[in-house]
Amino acid sequence: MDLARDGWSIARPGLTHDLLEELRSEAFSPGSAGVRCLLDFSSVKVAAEEMKQHLIAGDVIPSSAVAIQAIAFDKTPDTNWKVPWHQDLMFPFSDEVSSPGYDLPSRKTGVHYARPPVDVLESLLAVRLHLDDCDETNGPLRVSPGTHLSGIIPSAEAANRAAENGEVACLASIGEALLMRPLLLHASSQATEPGHRRVLHVVYHSGAPMPERWHRFL
């Protein structure tokens, strides 16, 4: 797979076993399918910086890139969720947005969210660090290669567009990271053999300065 062409690829950023264990302990809440806004957590800060340096060394992102979001996902027997085909369009900001092109403002748990303009969305890279092995049985992420090149796709058209383009299951081992453009159509099925499927999802922004300020960045 090719990140520019397909919108996703697999990398191994080389985080230590001890750091992975710290992330499991600090970033995940028992019984919760997801925890947002984790960039203030010490282990998440370290992981985000180490992955950033790995991506810079591989010419994936520039040295000016900043981490702007971190979310912990876990798929267990108690939180065996599924997600239909979609793009990631809403991101956290420090205040309610007011600039042209920043749309659909909302608040989640006290944090402002909005959909930034397409050029900002195109400059984002999501890195999904796997803290457990992810195979076909525990609900891996599925992606539709190349759909990130089509801009914002209406939700009502997402499933048909994915069917037209085809799909790939993104399998990974502990310590591997899925690199993904947020505009890439992706989905997730329920696990057939649910256990832990812990993923730390970190988003990096590599674009030009913006009129709106991210909720957190480092």
State residue 33's pLDDT score: 60
Domain residue spans in the chain? 3-205
State residue 75's pLDDT score: 87
Does the pLDDT value for residue 31 go beyond 90? no
Tell me the residue ranges of DSSP E strands in the chain: 8-11, 34-35, 66-73, 83-86, 91-93, 103-108, 111-115, 124-130, 141-143, 168-169, 177-180, 186-188, 199-205
Q: What is the pTM of this model?
A: 0.95
Q: What's the pLDDT band for 2 if we cut at 50, 70, 90?
A: very high
Q: What's the pLDDT band for 28 if we cut at 50, 70, 90?
A: confident
Taking residue 25's Cβ as centre, other Cβ atoms within 10 Å add up to 9
Mean pLDDT, rounded, of the chain: 94
pLDDT, tens digit, 9 for 90 and up, residues 83-110: 999 999 999 999 999 999 999 999 998 9
Does the pLDDT value for residue 24 go beyond 90? yes
DSSP state of 100: T
Token pair of 146, please? 């190349």
pLDDT, tens digit, 9 for 90 and up, residues 148-171: 999 999 999 999 999 999 999 999
Domain 3-205 has CATH 2.60.120.620: yes
